Amino acid sequence: MNNTKGSVLVIGGGITGVQTALDLADSGFYVYLVERTAAIGGVMSQLDKTFPTNDCSACILSPKLVECGRHLNIQLLTLSELVSLKGEPGNFRAVIRENPRYVDANKCIACGMCAEKCPKVVPNEFNNGLGTRKAAYLKFPQAVPLKYAIDAKHCIWLNKPGRCGACAKACPAGAINFDDKPKEHILEVGAVALALGFETYDPSLLDFTGYGRLKNVVTSLEFERLLSPSGPCLGHMERPSDHAIPKRIAWLQCVGSRDINRACNAYCSSVCCMYAIKQAVIAKEHAAGHLDATIFYMDMRTHGKDFEKYYERAKASGISFIRSRVHSVWPAGQAVHTQKGFEYGHDLLVRYSDEDGHLHEETFDLVVLSVGMQLSASARGLLSKLDIPLNSHGFVPFSSFSPNSTSKPGIFICGPVSDPKDIPQSVTEASSVAAEISALLSSSRWQTTKTKEFPPERDITAEPPRIGVFVCHCGINIASVVNVKEVAEYARTLPGVVFVQDNLFTCSQDTIVNMVATIRREGLNRVVVASCTPRTHEPLFQETLREAGLNPYLFEMANIRDQDSWVHQNEPEKATQKAKDLVRMAIAKVRGDQPLSANVVPVHKRALVIGGGVTGMVAALSLADQGFPVDLVEKAEGLGGNARRLYRTWQGEEVAEMLQSLIDRTTNHANITLHSSTTLERTSGSVGRFKTTLSNGKEIEHGVAILAVGGQPWRPSGEWQYLYGEEERVKTLLEVDELCMADENVKATGRSPLLSQLNHVVFIHCVGSRIPERPYCSRVCCTHAIDQALKLKELNPRMNIYMLYRDIRTYGQREILYQEARAKGIVFIRYDLNNRPTLTKDGDTLCIGAMDHVLKRPLVIHPDMVVLASAVEPRRDAGELSKFFKCSINAEGFLMEAHAKLRPVDFATDGVFLAGLCHYPKPLEESIAQAKAAAVRAVRVLAQDVVPAESAVAVVNPAKCVTCGVCAKICPYSAISKDPVLQKASVDASLCKGCGACVASCRSDAITLKNMGNEQIMAAIEAAMCNCGG
Amino acid sequence: MFYAVLEGLRRFKIPHNFEFVSIISLYARWIREGRLNVSSAWNTEGLKFTVQDPCKLVRQGIGDEVAEDLRFVIRQVAGEENFIDVWPNKSNNYCCGGGGGALQSGFVQNRRACGKAKFQQLQATGADVVITPCHNCHTQVKDICDHYNGKWQTTHLWNWIVKAMI
């Protein structure tokens, strides 16, 4: 009998928990998502924009929240916390307490009357205390669930029954329930995922920053709210004290991070450098250029994908970067001494010393403290309840080889619970945890899930068009430029339009529910949404149509944000005119839209993994453990890839042993077929039904593919060669790792190790990284070099070690290694690109020339060994390989994911995923997490029997086709072939992606794209050209 | 000693079952609780007081909390109207310039140059008495007063408490 439960408990409703829940629910498990506050979304919902793409945070998060809220197999438990957890992996019993909301969620229609009438004004914690809300409140405009709640601590009635009750009188739905009591839920689950998130460091503990005393000193999270359209100043960026628009803003880095003095947080928080740069860039946009932005930093840590380019762009745009640890923030100007103490103005004075040791004073209007990350008290309490210990830095310890497991089997961690990390990495880990759980509970897949039933589709063939138009404000993204009301009024005048509505956020849950009701009530049979891009939002709206009983293809989007308000910020009138034009075109086109039948492709439940390094093996094993057969293709003879040359991780775990067990498991796993010394010959097909031919002649049919083709160390050359290859005392990090491993063997035989005989060793950082040819940081080398230096110090404590570096980027708890290295007397000397170290040979003596950055004097070192921390670069054949699956690569040659923030392991091509070094340089634990994440993303496909395919496909009119064959040649998806009977071109609907290339190529006008026919295109063009009012 | 123990407990998160307070905060607590009775009645001449916030006690040590206590005690002892705060103050106060071994290591000129900012700041208050609850600050503040021809008197806190006790 199968005792394994098919449901999962996810604790924490931030983006990490949301991603875990979605991945698990789509892979066949029922998920309970427990959130402590009144709505899911976490810190990401508070952010304004996200780096490095400057995407609107709410805009990319909101669809996920809505999906979570609507998902049939996710049950949201808000205002809830875990009381107890008992049991074992596969079979836990969790008790959850759901605190009273005092608003009946089934009755609440989110009209907001309760909040409007509530007399009690309290600080708004969603805005970090900037601005106010009522005791009856909605956490934020796009909240999921979109239900009001009453704050028991502040509600007048709940504290003194009978005194108020204004909300209950105002509520038209009768949803207010002052007698609401805590509810207890007993859940039987197979596994638990902890996505407990983080809180920002409270800088009021550092009184010299003035935080809490000086109103215009704010934390970075508060500044996000000041920038945000849903924030206290509606996105107009005002400073708190006098609502003036700041013209000079300073960011102070490392507040509560890398500080062992008052803050007691020794680690680096990893994300603050990037968010500070982003905030400076966005603030500059807000101020239309009239802003002096200065960032005071210690080391600039832009170690993620495309971060370094972002940093360079920020420098070029005039943002000042000053390397200085500012010790105090004072009020500027003359302070007036009164009996009550000092009184002073609004501006702030920052005094700092530059790198030459000169003192400077600068006045700012606003100072932003880049506060670090730490676990919240409630997270720590929960972990201690679960008996999961924390390390001395207050994080959950983890193994680099299994980064998401805890000391308790069946309980997994993801996100910043184990180490500070950014959104893409948290999202990756969220999927990685889903993979672990999916493997653990694979025997109960689809056992406890429910299936969605859509209402039958309404037949609209005989109906004249009844078009509904929904115009979106997108907060202020659209409404601050385009006159949305005017566009809506204009749409009302167009033929066929019977209903028009404008919404603050059309994608919010209440609007979606409302839209379903409206479609039914008004009998709409075509829908136009004028908002953002179909790339992110079309699936959501199409599903909304299905729920209302309409065919999802009776829908068009007019992109009045990306293609209008964002690009015409300075011309609001013309932008409004353009919005009208775009809406008119969409309406003209939607009129001709016809219902299309759903197209599905059966899934080959088999995966292809390319690359037999650690990433490829972990991905293959994860898939195999989740119950799916895998073909693992490796170009080389043996498995292991780059990891074979690695000695140990930064946490001191030796790699060789782990690697061997990984190789053994991979070779012996019943679900894995290994193809070594093999490459790909060709691939055809699409998600669900790929067909790949290997160089060993085998042909594999597979539903998904994971590209884990790895990277390689760059071979130092040109001006970065440093005698490498000519002089055997010059080595790379990996070569020294090999020596370390050899040393271990030597030690075992009792002979004196080779490395311990060295007296002077110089490490040169950033060899080939962060230069115009390779404008990225290789992420792993700082930590690797410092760890290696520490190893050398272990072997010979008297060894003199010098590190020539540009910025030390030991992010997260790796920072401890850096501190240890300094404590052990390793000398750190900074260089910049204009003053690179030189290496020459004087007879047989090596001479390193460098400039000491503190003394400003030239310096000569005669090392016994020089170690080059050379760049990690993508494999040259990665580009070739990506073409097989129509995936793209970025300018540096790394494979490009579908979305830098929220889809870090997916490709834009469905059914193909990526992981490891081919995505970006990264350490083992991140590669492993990515491999597992890619595996579960693949399982989301493999777990289904069929996948939906494009319905708007090309169709050939055989009467017109002349069988010239041009279309078949031009089709990038090999979807067109000659029909053997008719001898005419014929389109395989399951392969066609609806790109339209064949339509344009056909000389006989024989091919049409469904819902994109000539009549419709011409109608849209005519609508664009006619100056019919508006 | 005070800072070393405090920092040790904090940085290495050493479990301990005692409260770690400065004598300054105890003075303040005792005065608030009425166990230490002081009055400013003695200050008939209106002697003006100002204060030095020692780095190890305030900025690096306990923070503004103890600086507030220090001011509270001085106000009680010297009279509300006779206290003139320095600017900047508390956690943002200037270093006296004599710490870190500077007083013992010889480089007298450099040390006095460092103390110049402190001297100007104290001089600007026009106070007759500078309270320094740290022997290191005391030595430096007294020395820069003598060197730059200041007119104030440098003292510890307890002397005045004794004077004000009733």
pLDDT tens per residue, range A195-240: 999 999 999 988 889 999 899 999 999 999 999 988 898 888 999 9
Task: Write down the ipTM of this complex.
Answer: 0.79
The per-residue pLDDT for range A300-324, each reduced to its tens digit, is 999 999 999 999 999 999 999 999 9
Closest CA relative to residue A47, chosen from A422, A415, A336, A333:
A422
Q: Which residues of B touch A823 (CB under 8 A)?
A: none
Closest CA relative to residue A20, chosen from A451, A404, A421, A543:
A404
Report the range of poorest mean pLDDT among A714-718, A937-941, B87-91.
B87-91
A335 to B87: CB separation less than 8 angstroms, yes or no:
yes
Query: How many other β-carbons are positioned within 10 Å of the β-carbon of residue A715?
Result: 15
Q: Which residues of A touch B84 (CB under 8 A)?
A: 337
B92 to A328: CB separation less than 8 angstroms, yes or no:
yes
How far lies A56's CA from each of A44, A371, B148, in Å?
10, 21, 59
Q: Who has greater pLDDT, A653 or A598?
A: A653
Q: Which residues of A touch B89 (CB under 8 A)?
A: 342
DSSP state of B57: T
Amino acid at A758: L
By CB neighbour count within 10 A (0-12 exposed, 13-18 middle, 19+ buried), where does B151 fall?
exposed
The per-residue pLDDT for range A486-522, each reduced to its tens digit, is 999 999 999 999 999 998 888 877 788 899 999 999 9
- The pLDDT of A725-735, averaged and rounded, is 95
Amino acid at A1: M
Q: Is the Cβ of A336 closer than 8 Å to some Cβ of chain B?
A: no
Query: How many other β-carbons are positioned within 10 Å of the β-carbon of residue A394?
Result: 14
Q: Which residues of A touch B64 (CB under 8 A)?
A: 207, 213
Report the range of poorest mean pLDDT among A134-138, A532-536, B152-156.
A532-536
Q: Is the Cβ of A341 closer than 8 Å to some Cβ of chain B?
A: yes
CA quadruple A279, A285, A286, A289: dihedral, nearest 10: 120
Given a contact cutoff of 8 angstroms between Cβ atoms, the answer to whether A687 and A947 are in contact is: yes
Q: Which of B83, B87, B90, B121 to mutate to test the interface with A (most CBs of A within 10 A)?
A: B87
In the numeric block, the tokens 């071994």 are attached to B101
Q: Which residues of A touch B13 (CB under 8 A)?
A: 264, 392
Distance (Å) from the C-alpha of residue A911 to the closest C-alpha of chain B?
A: 49
Query: How many other β-carbons are positioned within 10 Å of the β-carbon of residue A839?
Result: 22
The per-residue pLDDT for range A34-64, each reduced to its tens digit, is 999 999 999 999 999 999 999 999 889 988 9
In sequence order, the β-bridge partners of residue A133 are A122
A328 to B80: CB separation less than 8 angstroms, yes or no:
no
B13 to A264: CB separation less than 8 angstroms, yes or no:
yes
Distance (Å) from the C-alpha of residue B115 to the closest C-alpha of chain A?
A: 16
Q: Which of A337, A339, A340, A392 to mutate to test the interface with B (most CBs of B within 10 A)?
A: A337
Return d(Cα A328, Cα A998) in angstroms, integer.
66
Return d(Cα A663, Cα A640) in angstroms, integer.
7
Return d(Cα A603, Cα A704) in angstroms, integer.
9
Q: Assign 3-class secondary structure to A626-681.
A: CCCCEEEECCCCCCEHHHHHCCECCCCCEHHHHHHHHHHHHHHCCCEEEECCCCEE
B92 to A208: CB separation less than 8 angstroms, yes or no:
yes
- The pLDDT of A109-127, averaged and rounded, is 90
A207 to B63: CB separation less than 8 angstroms, yes or no:
yes
Distance (Å) from the C-alpha of residue A262 to the closest C-alpha of chain B?
A: 7
Return d(Cα A83, Cα A307) in angstroms, integer.
41
Q: Which residues of B touch A262 (CB under 8 A)?
A: 60, 63
A264 to B90: CB separation less than 8 angstroms, yes or no:
no
Tell me what the pLDDT averaged over chain A comes to: 93
Please state whether the predicted TM-score (pTM) of the whole model is above 0.80.
yes
Q: Which of A259, A261, A262 to mutate to test the interface with B (most CBs of B within 10 A)?
A: A262
Q: What is the helix (H) or strand (E) element at residue A998, kind and residue range?
A: helix A997-1001
Given a contact cutoff of 8 angstroms between Cβ atoms, the answer to whether A420 and A98 are in contact is: no
Which residue of chain A is at minimal alpha-carbon distance from B125?
A337
- pLDDT at position A534 is 84
Percentage of the residues of chain A whose pLDDT score is greater than 70: 98
DSSP state of A1022: H
**Tokens of residue B26, six digits:** 């105890």
Return d(Cα A995, Cα A1012) in angstroms, integer.
10
Which residue of chain B is at minimal alpha-carbon distance from A213?
B64
Q: What angle do CA B85, B45, B121 make, to 5 degrees?
A: 25
The per-residue pLDDT for range A868-927, each reduced to its tens digit, is 999 999 998 888 888 888 888 999 999 999 999 999 999 988 899 999 999 999 999 999
- pLDDT at position A1030 is 44
Across the interface, which of A210, A264, A337 has its CB nearest the CB of B84? A337
Q: Which residues of A touch B63 (CB under 8 A)?
A: 205, 207, 262
- pLDDT at position A747 is 61
- pLDDT greater than 80 at residue A1: no
- pLDDT greater than 90 at residue A430: yes
Return d(Cα A873, Cα A887) in angstroms, integer.
18
- The pLDDT of A104-117, averaged and rounded, is 86
Given a contact cutoff of 8 angstroms between Cβ atoms, the answer to whether A6 and A186 are in contact is: no
Listed in sequence order, the residues at least 6 apart from A404 whose beta carbon sits closer than 8 Å to its beta carbon are A398, A412, A413, A414, A429, A432, A433, A436, A929, A932
A337 to B90: CB separation less than 8 angstroms, yes or no:
no
Listed in sequence order, the residues at least 6 apart from A138 whose beta carbon sits closer than 8 Å to its beta carbon are A38, A39, A110, A112, A115, A146, A147, A148, A149
A409 — alpha (psi -120 to 50), left (phi > 0) or beta? beta
Closest CA relative to residue A586, chosen from A491, A708, A673, A658:
A491
Report the range of poorest mean pLDDT among A144-158, A328-342, A778-792.
A328-342
Helix, strand or coil, per DSSP, at residue A363: strand
Q: Which domains does chain A have, with CATH numbers?
A: 1-99+182-198+375-453 (3.50.50.60), 101-179 (3.30.70), 201-373 (3.50.50.60), 467-594 (3.40.50), 602-710+875-942 (3.50.50.60), 718-873 (3.50.50.60), 953-1009 (3.30.70.20)
Amino acid at A584: R
Q: Which residues of A touch B7 (CB under 8 A)?
A: 261
A260 to B89: CB separation less than 8 angstroms, yes or no:
no
Distance (Å) from the C-alpha of residue B19 to the closest C-alpha of chain A?
A: 18
Return d(Cα A140, Cα A124) in angstroms, integer.
10
Q: Give residue A950's pLDDT band: very low, low, confident or very high (50, 70, 90).
A: confident
- pLDDT greater than 70 at residue A170: yes
The per-residue pLDDT for range A330-364, each reduced to its tens digit, is 888 877 777 667 778 899 999 899 988 898 999 99
Percentage of the residues of chain A whose pLDDT score is greater than 90: 79
How far lies A218's CA from each of A367, A514, A814, in Å?
6, 38, 28
